[in-house]
Amino acid sequence: MTQDNSIADGSANDTGNDSGTIALQALVWVLQDGPRTDRLLGLTGLTGDQLRQRIMEPAIHLAVLDYLMGYEPDLIACAQALDLPLTRMVQAHTSLSS
């Protein structure tokens, strides 16, 4: 019997843990805080309407994770709130970047 190593190395696309889903969960976390939301919109140049219209685009997912990667305290707090290892957040960012 062969062993599937995709789960061990974090490359599995299991429901609830794929990079796009993680980015959307992170977006929800960001949007729960007014100042974080304002900073995200300011840094990305998006309006709230644009964000709503483009929410399923990989570029938006990457923008959310880029935003979190740019400020480590928020990245750590988000990972903790989502009950994810910090390394999984970084993997999601890397996956969306490529």
The arithmetic mean of pLDDT across residues 71-97, rounded, is 97
The pLDDT score that the predictor gives to residue 17 is: 60
- 4, pLDDT greater than 50: no
Contact of 92 with 58, CB cutoff 8 Å: no
Look at residue 11 and tell me if it is in a domain: no
Look at residue 60 and tell me if it is in a domain: yes
Look at residue 42 and tell me if it is in a domain: yes
pTM (predicted TM-score):
0.82
Q: What is the pLDDT of residues 9-62, one digit of tens each?
A: 444 444 446 999 999 999 999 999 999 999 999 999 999 999 999 999 999 999
Range of the domain at 65: 20-97
Look at residue 48 and tell me if it is in a domain: yes
The pLDDT score that the predictor gives to residue 52 is: 96
The pLDDT score that the predictor gives to residue 38 is: 97
Q: Contacts from 63-72 at CB under 8 Å and sequence distance 24+?
A: 64/23, 64/24, 64/26, 64/27, 64/30, 64/40, 65/22, 65/23, 65/26, 65/89, 65/92, 65/93, 65/96, 66/93, 67/30, 67/39, 67/40, 67/43, 68/26, 68/30, 68/93, 69/93, 70/43
**Count of domains for the chain:** 1
Q: What is the pLDDT of residues 48-61, one digit of tens each?
A: 999 999 999 999 99
- 87, pLDDT greater than 50: yes
